[in-house]
Amino acid sequence: MKVLSVVGARPQFVKAAVLSRALARHGIQECSVHTGQHYDDNMSDVFYRQLRMVAPAYMLDVGSAGHGAQTGEMMRRLEPIVEAEHPDWVIVYGDTNSTLAGALVAAKAHVHVAHVEAGLRSFNRAMPEEINRIVTDHVADAHFVPGENARAQLQREGILEHVYVVGDLMIDLAREVLAQLPARPPILDRFGLESKRYALATIHRASNTEKETFTPIVAGLRRLPGRVLFPVHPRTRPLAEALGLGQGDNITLSEPLPYLEMIALQRHACGVLTDSGGVQKEALVAGTPCTTLREETEWVESLEGGWNVLAGSDPERIAGAGMRPAPETPLGGIFACDSGCAERIVRALLETARLPSRR
């Protein structure tokens, strides 16, 4: 079997790092394509170094652009690669423009599509990611869902075959990394942080990087009762500088931080505030309460027991929830699932190798 993996953004590098190891263990040939959707070193290349990933066979270097232009350019550059490599499967991850481009090119080339992290829905079609998820799920041939909620959602949409409940690759890797952390990771000394005495914030979604939304979020962060470390996404930096973040307030700005450092910071934070789906999961695996800077989340299991709360851009909700104590109720759902997601995905791919060729 030969697979072609399409990645382009931080959470996809994390997922692919775990799955690539399992593919290699089972003798499955993998060819990786990096679309270049994330191209900053701390959001791209550092993941390959820290997670010991094999360098991608193809770098598309698409970079930033509007959604249509970016997706279209990815498809234009990806199509000849799929035709030349002739894989049995194209594997796509999550919900980015890279996900959609890989799925559409493969489907049109009559190559089987495997969607890792299928079945998630925010039910907010104003989010570009929601459109990407829905379309990808409906052209995919195999759907690897993290839990029963996602499986049930696909069933409601009429997707009944080749749906596999496998767990979550990001949760598995976070557990692995957390088990190896030193008692006091060096990243705390770099920023002069005391364990459980600070909050960690990330903001990157388009809806939150408009001035009318970003400004009240910042007001909420400034009202938190402790320091806030804020690794700034390139999209967010102009707004952060315009509002004077880090100048005489409780917020410390930094460049985007590598994966291992982010996991350590989440473990030792009192609270994590984010609009990232991946960071929501990582925070909870680290045992740290999360405050989601959105009005909805795809990870509905995270809301159980109050581990994750939705604050949107409301300063009062952000200030009230951002550094709250951890709940006593243990996490359930996908957070209680056994590790081994990658092995379950590979076994399912091998079982579905008998699917009729699309060609």
Secondary structure tally for the chain: helices H, strands E? 14, 13
| Three-state secondary-structure class, residue 27 | coil
- What does the alpha-carbon distance between residue 341 and residue 168 come to, in Å, rounded to a whole number? 6
The torsion angle over the Cα atoms of residues 231, 237, 241 and 247, rounded to 10 degrees, is: 0
Active site residues: 204
List the structure tokens of 177.
């990394």
Phi then psi dihedrals of residue 56, to 5 deg: -65, 145
Of the candidates 21, 31, 51, 346, the residue with the CA atom closest to the CA atom of residue 174: 51
C-beta of residue 106 within 8 angstroms of C-beta of residue 113: yes
Residue environment code for 222-249, b if the CB has 16+ CB neighbours within 10 A, otherwise e: bebebbbbbbbbeebeebbeebebbeee
